[in-house]
Structure 1
Amino acid sequence: MMAKLKLKDYLFIASLLFGMFFGAGNLIFPVFLGQEAGNMVFIANLGFLVTAIGLPLLAVAAMGISSSDSVLDLARKSGDTFGYAFTIALYLVIGPLFAIPRLATTSYEVALAPYISDANQEIVLASFCIAFFVIAWFFSRTSSSALHYVAKFLNPLCLVALGILLTLSIVHPMGSVQDLPAQGVYQTKPFVTGFLGGYNTLDALAGLAFGIIVTSSIRKLGVTDPKGVATSTIKSGILTLVFMAFIYTLLSWLGATSVHVIPRSKNGGELLAQVSSHYLGTYGSILLSIIVTSACMTTAVGLITAFSETFATMFPKFSYAQYAVGSVTVSAIISMAGLSFVLEATTPVLMFIYPLAIVLILLSYLNAIYPLDQTVYKVTLSFTMLVALIDALAAMPTIIKSHASVSKVLEWSADNLPLMKLGLSWILPAVIGLTVGLTYSFISKKKS
């Protein structure tokens, strides 16, 4: 008889999911969204929830539904070449090249940077990053220890600190959102703007990576049947979904109401620091440091674990422990360049890989309903990839975009690709690719 999870098991898996997903960016982006969205905050927040929560949980569940043992296993449905290329690219993006360094630099920017003189910023940043990654390595030196610390120790620390701040904001609100006009594009496109804002969390990409950790944890609890694993993943995901949606909504509302008391900030980190200081003064700064650093640490541990497990499986020449050391070393070096550098370098890569990840996730669900052959995957992802490459070019530095050939491509795309100006130009090509792939597959099967 197949084992069934108890409520405490579902809560454990939900806590694990929350801890791995909820990094500092998940605190900063909804707060800043609220400040900019004003009286359109709830519509904008709804769009944010779709990509910041909905897509990541679909990604985690896709690993269970597709019975895939890894991202490579899922991506190889489009062929070995795409499978390896996509998997390596995804883990480098959410791993040591971009996402992990961003966690350390974000922690520093929020917790320490405001109190350090310009002359000492570089040395303090370097020292902070080294300390951050030594601790992250300690927690993730074995995959089992990562699971233990994230779910049982770091999560409660982050939640208690965040709970104090949110409770104060509810008991003593800074104002109402009804009379606050929306800023910029939130005036005309609040839902779409919030939807695109959710991309910044990187969680849809991380969801594919975390899926193997979650499904592995469920199997260790005694559930081994693929259908049971998928069902258990979805149930735990729903618990996470409700809880994270609640927190995101409160954070965006907090950001909107803050305008009554706090001048508009340059970014969510600065705004969150000012809100904490408003409610708790010096203690607020300490509380914010605890919230941000613990949130970043939980996500860093999850990403280091996922990266190291995957590469140790794909390229077993090195062990999990060696990959863990390598990932924290590279992450520490890159993070010393600062948050601005990391964010600028990340954007073009994300614009290319994010649509591919979303389409791959959706194809896995369609495949569970109607089995797809490799042709459908290849054609759909190829169509998506062409437009994703254009989106990546549009996000490149000016020196690249100003090149004559690149400029012509971007001008033509802006005039001819639907939804290009909304940042969703990949949707129609993906649908066309799916239609072409299904049609070709159907005709081929009928002939044979």
Structure 2
Amino acid sequence: MLFGLFFGAGNLIFPLHLGQLAGSHWLLAALGFLITAVLLPLFSVLAISVTRSEGVYDIGKPLGAAFALVFMVLIHATIGPLFGTPRTATVSFTVGVAPFLPKQFDQIGLFVFSLLFFGLAFILSYKENNIVKNVGKVLNPLFLLLLFVVFLVAFTNPLGSTTTASVTKAYLSDPFTNGFLQGYNTMDALAGLAFGVTVVTAVKQLGKKKPRSIALTTARAGILTMAAIGLIYLLLILVGAMSLGKFKVSADGGVAFTQIVNYYAGRIGQAFLATLLTLNCLTTAVGLVAAFAQDFHKHFPKVSYHVWLAFSCLASFLTANFGLDQIITWSVPLLMFLYPLAMALIVLSITSPWFKRDSRVYLTTVVLTVVPAFFDMVVSFPAVVSQSSFGLVVANFQQKFLPLANVGLDWLVPAVVGFALGLVWHFAQGQAAVGVVGKSQVK
């Protein structure tokens, strides 16, 4: 089930496109990508396990209930109705179905497809106790079987050699960092936190009741899931790099996938791709709308799970009809803001037993992370924001005063400094408390 929830639309198209962008430098780019697209999502699942949380709200709770609620809403809005969930329908349609339709019917085709898509997602997630069966036992194995066929054809009849593949300018100079930032687009670190409530609910339905047992089961599932996803990413990156033997670098991974499948199998291959993508994206959509409804019902219980579920599906349907390009364009800035915060909170959660989940460590780390993350968001917006007078001032300040700003990692040094300051504060207060106790005992 966890594999099906994680592996969605972006998990197919972004690594494939990365392979085309990196060319013969695919290995370094893959290493960077695997950190943010595999290791970090694994850590997000482990964070749920270590802190014995039941969702993204619990991860942010050491900073107070208000922060935890705002963070939960932002995460669910981003991977839910605003960007992540609509993308599951738009990728399925744009890459799989649109090539069968005349260009003038694209908009009405997307409307009908997304309506049916989210209607089915609503039905499959209507009963919470059926999510494991619907995603883990039915949709997921079928998707994996179809994906295996794609890899079998691609590697037995390669389109080109990875060693001679051309490299785009950005990946020629810094393939690792660019691969690292590409991993943001999968949204999986955010999804891992948001899926916490769905995973914990599913584990309880399997008969695990004790917190320690739930935590161990969640951790094991996370390790197995992300190992499998990591292998698939590597294969997709290789397929993307090999495709340069026949094709130029495409506009996105969806176009690349269409070109590759059509080359091997023509219209039959396109029908195969449409089936593959729709199954893949539907599994993730089910997990996303269910996680949204479960978490919001938990924190706003006056509204039922089914009403929140209907809201999530309806809002995702409406957003999907803006089209894939618009969704990706406007999702990048919010990801540049939320990913550093999510990474900071994930690391804090995993290491929290060391400092007893002291809110002071959380405070210094997050405060020093959120400012540069906000700057990254501003400069990542389309030109209407990033090229405004405010956007240019922010960009100029970044480049002058924040290290690693030129590669989009200007939050990293402040976050580490904040974490170190928080630990010093924690242990210094601890030593002071021990000193006070010692003096009172001597008296």
Q: Does 1:275 align with 2:263?
A: no
Contact 2:402 2:410 in 1 (8 A): yes
Mapped to 2, the partners of 1:282 and 1:366 lie a distance apart of: 51
Contact 1:24 1:107 in 2 (8 A): yes
Which residue of structure 2 lines up, in the alignment, with residue 130 of structure 1? 115
What is the identity, as a one-letter code, of the residue corresponding to 2:119? V
Which residue of structure 2 lines up, in the alignment, with residue 91 of structure 1? 76
Q: CA deviation at 1:390?
A: 0.5
Q: CA deviation at 1:104?
A: 0.9
Which residue of structure 2 lines up, in the alignment, with residue 4 of structure 1? none
* 1:104 aligned to which of 84, 89, 113: 89
Q: Does 1:29 align with 2:49?
A: no
* 1:428 aligned to which of 382, 398, 413: 413
Q: Deviation per CA, 1:347-368: give whole Å up to 9, x if none.
A: 2111111111110000011112
Mapped to 2, the partners of 1:141 and 1:418 lie a distance apart of: 48
Mapped to 2, the partners of 1:249 and 1:213 lie a distance apart of: 28
Which residue of structure 1 lines up, in the alignment, with residue 340 of structure 2? 355
Which residue of structure 2 lines up, in the alignment, with residue 62 of structure 1? 47
Q: CA deviation at 1:264?
A: 3.0
Q: Does 1:170 align with 2:155?
A: yes
Q: Deviation per CA, 1:69-92: give whole Å up to 9, x if none.
A: 221122111111211110111111
Which secondary structure state, in structure 2, belongs to the residue aligned with residue 425 of structure 1? coil
Q: Deviation per CA, 1:407-434: give whole Å up to 9, x if none.
A: 2122011122111111111111111111
Q: Deviation per CA, 1:177-226: give whole Å up to 9, x if none.
A: 11123212111211111111111000000000112222332233333333
Mapped to 2, the partners of 1:399 and 1:164 lie a distance apart of: 44
Which residue of structure 1 lines up, in the alignment, with residue 289 of structure 2? 304
* 2:171 aligned to which of 157, 178, 186: 186
Which residue of structure 2 lines up, in the alignment, with residue 220 of structure 1? 205
What is the identity, as a one-letter code, of the residue corresponding to 1:127? V
Which residue of structure 1 lines up, in the alignment, with residue 349 of structure 2? 364
Q: Does 1:260 align with 2:245?
A: yes
Choose 250-259 or 106-115, whichever is displaced more: 106-115
Q: Deviation per CA, 1:218-247: give whole Å up to 9, x if none.
A: 233333333333332222222222221221
Q: Deviation per CA, 1:147-171: give whole Å up to 9, x if none.
A: 2200011101211111111111122
* 1:321 aligned to which of 285, 303, 306: 306
Which residue of structure 1 lines up, in the alignment, with residue 214 of structure 2? 229
Which secondary structure state, in structure 2, belongs to the residue aligned with residue 424 of structure 1? coil
Contact 1:60 1:233 in 2 (8 A): yes
Which residue of structure 1 lines up, in the alignment, with residue 390 of structure 2? 405
Which residue of structure 1 lines up, in the alignment, with residue 363 of structure 2? 378
Contact 2:55 2:195 in 1 (8 A): no
Q: CA deviation at 1:401?
A: 2.3
Which secondary structure state, in structure 1, belongs to the residue aligned with residue 377 of structure 2? helix
Contact 1:63 1:69 in 2 (8 A): yes
What is the identity, as a one-letter code, of the residue corresponding to 2:143? C
Contact 2:197 2:294 in 1 (8 A): no
What is the identity, as a one-letter code, of the residue corresponding to 1:108? F
Mapped to 2, the partners of 1:281 and 1:181 lie a distance apart of: 26
Which residue of structure 2 lines up, in the alignment, with residue 11 of structure 1? none
Which residue of structure 1 lines up, in the alignment, with residue 29 of structure 2? 44
Q: CA deviation at 1:304?
A: 0.6
Contact 1:31 1:255 in 2 (8 A): yes
Q: Deviation per CA, 1:31-73: give whole Å up to 9, x if none.
A: 1111121111122112211111111111012111111122112
What is the identity, as a one-letter code, of the residue corresponding to 1:54? L
Choose 266-275 or 232-241, whichever is displaced more: 232-241
Which residue of structure 2 lines up, in the alignment, with residue 149 of structure 1? 134
Which residue of structure 2 lines up, in the alignment, with residue 82 of structure 1? 67
CA gap of 1:391–1:229, structure 2 versus 1, over 3 A, is same
Which secondary structure state, in structure 2, belongs to the residue aligned with residue 95 of structure 1? helix
Contact 1:65 1:227 in 2 (8 A): no
Q: Deviation per CA, 1:15-43: give whole Å up to 9, x if none.
A: x1110011121111111111121111122
What is the identity, as a one-letter code, of the residue corresponding to 2:48? M
Contact 1:64 1:226 in 2 (8 A): no
Q: CA deviation at 1:258?
A: 1.1
Aligned-residue CA RMSD (Å): 1.5
What is the identity, as a one-letter code, of the residue corresponding to 1:334? T
Contact 2:262 2:269 in 1 (8 A): yes
Choose 294-303 or 62-71, whichever is displaced more: 62-71
Mapped to 2, the partners of 1:311 and 1:87 lie a distance apart of: 9
Which secondary structure state, in structure 2, belongs to the residue aligned with residue 94 of structure 1? helix
What is the identity, as a one-letter code, of the residue corresponding to 1:341? Q
Which residue of structure 2 lines up, in the alignment, with residue 6 of structure 1? none
Q: CA deviation at 1:406?
A: 3.1
Mapped to 1, the partners of 2:259 and 2:389 lie a distance apart of: 44
Q: Does 1:333 align with 2:328?
A: no
Mapped to 2, the partners of 1:398 and 1:47 lie a distance apart of: 27
Mapped to 1, the partners of 2:271 and 2:410 lie a distance apart of: 43
Which residue of structure 2 lines up, in the alignment, with residue 17 of structure 1? 2
* 1:439 aligned to which of 412, 418, 424: 424
Mapped to 2, the partners of 1:61 and 1:287 lie a distance apart of: 35
TM-score of the superposition, structure 2-length normalised?
Answer: 0.94
Contact 1:142 1:320 in 2 (8 A): no
Which secondary structure state, in structure 2, belongs to the residue aligned with residue 372 of structure 1? coil
Q: What is the aligned length?
A: 433
TM-score of the superposition, structure 1-length normalised?
Answer: 0.93
Mapped to 1, the partners of 2:384 and 2:21 lie a distance apart of: 30
Q: CA deviation at 1:393?
A: 0.6
Mapped to 2, the partners of 1:230 and 1:399 lie a distance apart of: 45
